[in-house]
């Protein structure tokens, strides 16, 4: 763990994608896991914190972290449990995802017997990254422990990055609880990386500029509002600027674009780039990702940040 700069926290799912011939291809899925992979490919020491079972599929996911250069030290194991599953169906012309994740051990990451190992590692990292999907997993007990660990880490000089990534189904339609939990997260956030369309749904923000002002009110010092093919709005306490997409391309598959954007932005900032340059780099990696099917490009592709 000494070389770990970033800890990404969340859930990785087993993914079955239905092809046009009716057969299923096996892969994996998870927003913060995708970000962890692209961070590691950019040369950033990265660990992934989650919980898996002791089954062959969980073993396969752990093996994948090794291939990608991600530390598996913070993957807790839950005896007798199985990871969550998602099935992706593209055969009807639209991407449809179905989930079986209610019993996923990742939901209890901060309630498992060894959860304090995650909290202790958080104190020693340089940056902690999580998302709104991460928050939707946990009970109130788990959230309380997670937020307490974030506070202690920040007191220790660790920065916190948060992609709001709001998905209504993860909150069972309880927008009031989602807003309450997000507000608690934002109070402990140094870098916010939301997508504007998510903010418009959850908060009713009329513009990216309105999103910036709302996040500034929580004390967030560095804000990047992703806006699809539009310009990203980058804000610090005393300035704001639009950073346009260098080249708008027709996407093959937009899955994972925001996750790759987050990874490239954070990798660039960790290596000393300004927020504007980091955003431009993030646009470029996201463009590469949407030019390929699926969230993860093959390792032979260019993944420079």
Active site residues: 259
Angle at CA 93, nearest 5°, toward 20 and 131? 100
Question: Is residue 16 classed exposed, middle or buried when 0-12, 13-18 and 19+ CB atoms within 10 A define those classes?
Answer: middle
Q: Is the dihedral of CA 134, 135, 141, 147 positive or negative?
A: positive
Rounded to 10°, the helix 196-203/208-217 angle is: 70
Helix, strand and coil percent figures for the chain, each rounded to 5: 40, 20, 40
Q: Are 33 and 8 in contact (CB under 8 A)?
A: yes
For every residue of 201-225, DSSP letters joined together read HHH--SSHHHHHHHHHHTT--EEEE
3-state secondary structure of 137: helix
């Amino acid at each position: 763990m000494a070389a770990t700069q970033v800890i990404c926290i969340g859930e990785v799912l087993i993914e079955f994608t239905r092809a046009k011939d009716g057969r299923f291809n096996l892969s994996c899925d998870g927003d913060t896991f995708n970000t962890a992979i692209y961070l590691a490919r950019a040369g950033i020491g990265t660990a992934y914190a989650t919980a898996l079972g002791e089954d062959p599929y969980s073993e396969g996911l752990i093996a994948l972290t090794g291939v990608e250069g991600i530390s598996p030290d913070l993957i807790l194991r839950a005896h007798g449990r199985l990871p969550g599953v998602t099935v992706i169906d593209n055969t009807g012309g639209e991407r449809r995802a179905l989930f079986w994740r209610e019993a996923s051990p990742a939901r209890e990451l901060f309630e498992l017997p060894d959860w304090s190992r995650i909290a202790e590692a958080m104190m020693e990292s340089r940056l902690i990254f999580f998302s709104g999907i991460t928050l939707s997993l946990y009970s109130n007990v788990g959230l309380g422990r997670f937020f307490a660990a974030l506070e202690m880490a920040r007191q220790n000089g660790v920065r916190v990055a948060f992609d709001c990534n709001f998905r209504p189904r993860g909150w069972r339609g309880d927008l009031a609880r989602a807003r309450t939990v997000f507000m608690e997260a934002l109070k402990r956030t140094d870098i916010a990386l939301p997508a504007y369309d998510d903010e418009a749904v959850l908060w009713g923000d009329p513009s990216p500029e309105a999103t910036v002002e709302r996040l500034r009110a929580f004390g967030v010092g560095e804000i990047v509002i992703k806006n699809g093919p539009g310009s990203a709005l980058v804000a610090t306490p005393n300035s704001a600027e639009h950073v346009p997409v260098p080249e708008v391309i027709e996407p093959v598959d937009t899955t994972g674009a925001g996750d790759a954007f987050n990874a490239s932005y954070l990798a660039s900032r960790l290596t000393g780039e300004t927020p504007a340059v980091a955003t431009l780099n993030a646009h470029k990696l996201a463009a590469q990702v949407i030019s390929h099917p699926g969230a993860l490009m093959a390792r032979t592709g260019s993944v420079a940040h």
